[in-house]
Structure 1
Amino acid sequence: MVEERNLKAANQIGMEIGIYSLADLYPDPLTGKTISVKQRMEEIIKAAKLADEAGLDVFGVGEHHRLDYAVSSPPVVLSAISQVTKRIKLTSATTVLNTVDPVRLFEDFATLDLLSNGRAEIIAGRGAFLDSFPLFGFDLTNYDELFEEHLELFLKLNEQQLVTWNGRYRSSLKEAAISPRPIQQQIPIWVGVGGTVKSAERAGRLGTGLALVILGGDPCFFQPFVDRYRESAALTGRALEDMKVAVTGHAYISKTNQQAIEEYYPYHSNYWHQLNRHHGVNKTWSRVEFEQMCSKDKALFVGSSQEIIEKIMRHYELFGHQRLLAQIDIGGMPFKKVAENIERLATEVAPVIRKETRK
């Protein structure tokens, strides 16, 4: 079975290393130019192909419903990527689960699984924006309840071909045929968590993977999240070896630590400036503050390959995680730099991490 092959492969290669894109359409801070949606889409597909050829394990695409982001439908984009790649796993990063119909979500990713020969996955989250709520007719006052109900229904769809179900926010199902069925026995689903321990606890209780969103600060802050996740899983009788943890975050690799800071600061600063501006926050980080964020004891994966290896291993000591997903194309960064980072991650970082974490 595909899932069994994947588990055996994970045990043999150690930690999975991948990349993801949220497909922002921000201007390049050095040139002031913003590429077209078409070019951004083409470059995302090209990045996935490069990652696959370089031997990375996972490629993800995020969901947004805004004019300053290029991707609103991850399964469509991932289906295109599936046709130009051979082995890399394909995941959403993230699916805004509150505002998507779970049946439609399952059908879309089951279709992707068939097209990709068993490589589809989902990271379910809440996203950085609320645009999808009015767009698809959902009430913000039901924010948390929608997420939980949609997740529970998706898990049932994943298990059964004929589903009977009743909930509060969606029409009932009675012996509904859920098709197509994926190649994998079940589509792997992770819950993206960045803010509350309660969300990590729910992921453990329901038996999903846990994808930690760590964009800065001290990674020790997230250790209670992982502890609660595993405790919650154990209390429901789940085998801890089946409970997978991923770390996701921003990354940039260059020849030296100082060069990485020099090259990445304009794009990181621009990304957060644009994002904060949309949320009505006038916040930017100074160069000095940014350098502090890149220090050895902080979570931001910026530096030489050796520095990145050491940071990943420090995270591994804290979390014992099975996957790292790096976001490397933010803030209007030109594709040339993205391609260089894919190459460094795949050839200089990933082999060392796999060796150090191999069971």
Structure 2
Amino acid sequence: MQFGIFTVGDVTPDPTTGRTPTEHERIKATVQIALKAEEVGLDVFATGEHHNPPFVPSSPTTTLAYIGARTSRILLSTATTLITTNDPVKIAEDYATLQHLTDGRTDLMMGRGNTGPVYPWFGKDIRQGVALAVENYALLHRLWREEVVDWEGRFRTPLQGFTATPRPLDGVPPFVWHGSIRTPEIAEQAAYYGDGYFHNNIFWPLSHTRQMVALYRQRFEHHGHGPADQAIVGLGGQVFMRKSSQDARREFRPYFDNAPVYGHGPSMEDFTAQTPLTVGSPQEVIDRYAAMRDHVGDYQRQLFLMDHAGLPLKTVLEQLDILGEEVVPVLRKEMAVGRPAHVPDAPTHASLVAQAASAAAEGSSDAAVGAAGAGGGR
């Protein structure tokens, strides 16, 4: 199972000091956080995509390519690639390039985003959000798998004899997750293609998460990709930890109370009771997240949001030390207990290359058997 972190790249004042980091500081901090994630043994670093203040990650491929040059092992992903407002041709080119630069340490998560004004900024209509996601991904899927594409749709100029370059590394496209919190059509899209489904359940009760993941699993099996428990599932999460629960809650409370995303609403106690946000000791985090598979089944990827709400960089790096040294090693063992052998691991470039080679060999074998049979019938 993969464990990692994701960032939304918010530029938020620290409520304890009143200081707001500059965009330059926040971008540089993102790189330091990714390097720390690799240092402490995490598997994945993912960044969101936003095109509006107070966020800085408007160019995920630039950031991930730079991090890729500074790291050697960690898998680099997006926490959202805006499939609705980005041109699928440009996505195909950018992420295939990133895949080559990182020697395959690249995957991405398709999403519609959570910022309505971004649609007209890129000449799109938010009322067509789901239709854009479906059509744009259908084109992207073909661009990565077909050398020459002829295509015509509703939202983009037609393509005639088009080849996206560079071609995917080793002929295998980056693995795709489809991220959605509340949209059944996106869970269906992930299931239709046999891709991964990521439910970023950080603001939702587990009853809703369970319902959406169950829908994806059912449809994955319906579309013939394998049993429902072999579907590829990822979850989001949020934690803040100190040695004692009291210290964690006391330190995090001003950040929670003033956070743009959930401040001035439910109390921290109510929010942690109703969502996966866990503020407490490392053992409390372990207990909470080890139980996630009781709700969604065995799954493949767990990402945590760690660097939001104005938390200073020093604090975030301390949190990553705790996560990597005290929490993730235990969760790895806990999640492995009783995990059925037929439940797959999260896909990597190496596993996808091996899978493609196996399928090609099986196809060649079937073709040889068929030719022999045809010859014997003459």
Q: Counterpart in 2 of 1:89?
A: 75
Q: Structure 1 CA distance, aligned partners of 2:41 and 2:335?
A: 17
Verify the 8 A CA contact 2:240 2:306 in the aligned structure 1: yes
* Alpha-carbon distance, 1:204 to partner: 1.1
Q: Counterpart in 2 of 1:307?
A: 284
Q: Report the secondary structure of 2:248's partner residue.
A: helix
Verify the 8 A CA contact 1:118 1:183 in the aligned structure 2: yes
Output the aligned Cα RMSD. 1.7
1:134 pairs with 2:132: no
2:131 to 142, 145, 156: 145
Do the aligned partners of residues 179 and 50 (structure 1) sit closer, same or farther apart at CA in structure 2, a change above 3 Å counting?
A: same
Q: Counterpart in 1 of 2:189?
A: 202
Verify the 8 A CA contact 2:202 2:275 in the aligned structure 1: no
How high is the sequence identity, in percent, across the aligned residues?
34
1:347 pairs with 2:339: no
Do the aligned partners of residues 227 and 43 (structure 1) sit closer, same or farther apart at CA in structure 2, a change above 3 Å counting?
A: same
Q: How does 1:163-242 map to 2 (within 5 A)?
A: 163-183=149-169, 185-240=172-227
Residues 298-349 of structure 1, C-alpha deviations (whole Å, 9 max, x = no match): 4213221111111111112211211110011111110011001111111111
Q: Structure 2 CA distance, aligned partners of 1:265 and 1:127?
A: 27
- Which structure 1 segments of 5+ residues have no match? 1-14, 277-282
Verify the 8 A CA contact 2:144 2:168 in the aligned structure 1: no
1:265 pairs with 2:235: no
Do the aligned partners of residues 119 and 307 (structure 1) sit closer, same or farther apart at CA in structure 2, a change above 3 Å counting?
A: same
Q: How does 1:1-359 map to 2 (within 5 A)?
A: 15-183=1-169, 185-240=172-227, 243-271=231-259, 274-275=260-261, 284-285=264-265, 289-295=267-273, 298-319=275-296, 320-358=298-336, 359=339
Q: Report the secondary structure of 1:60's partner residue.
A: strand
Q: Report the secondary structure of 1:326's partner residue.
A: strand
Q: Report the secondary structure of 1:118's partner residue.
A: coil
TM-score, normalised with respect to structure 1: 0.88
Residues 97-151 of structure 1, C-alpha deviations (whole Å, 9 max, x = no match): 1100011011111111111110111111122212321211112232211111111
Q: Structure 1 CA distance, aligned partners of 2:225 and 2:60?
A: 30
Q: Structure 2 CA distance, aligned partners of 1:245 and 1:167?
A: 30
Verify the 8 A CA contact 2:144 2:164 in the aligned structure 1: no
Greater CA drift, 200-209 or 223-232? 200-209
Structure 1 runs (4+) greater than 4 angstroms displaced: none
TM-score, normalised with respect to structure 2: 0.84
Q: Structure 1 CA distance, aligned partners of 2:264 and 2:241?
A: 22
What is the letter of the counterpart of residue 33 of structure 1? R
* Alpha-carbon distance, 1:353 to partner: 1.3
Verify the 8 A CA contact 1:118 1:182 in the aligned structure 2: no
Total equivalences in the alignment: 334
Q: Report the secondary structure of 2:237's partner residue.
A: strand
Verify the 8 A CA contact 1:96 1:126 in the aligned structure 2: yes
Q: Report the secondary structure of 1:252's partner residue.
A: strand
Q: Structure 2 CA distance, aligned partners of 1:242 and 1:335?
A: 38
* Alpha-carbon distance, 1:163 to partner: 1.8
Q: Structure 1 CA distance, aligned partners of 2:255 and 2:187?
A: 30
Q: Report the secondary structure of 1:284's partner residue.
A: coil
Verify the 8 A CA contact 2:201 2:275 in the aligned structure 1: no
Q: Structure 2 CA distance, aligned partners of 1:92 and 1:248?
A: 13
* Alpha-carbon distance, 1:54 to partner: 1.2
Verify the 8 A CA contact 2:130 2:185 in the aligned structure 1: no
Q: Structure 2 CA distance, aligned partners of 1:161 and 1:120?
A: 21
Do the aligned partners of residues 141 and 221 (structure 1) sit closer, same or farther apart at CA in structure 2, a change above 3 Å counting?
A: closer
Q: Counterpart in 1 of 2:371?
A: none
Largest Rg, 1 or 2:
2
Q: Structure 1 CA distance, aligned partners of 2:106 and 2:116?
A: 26
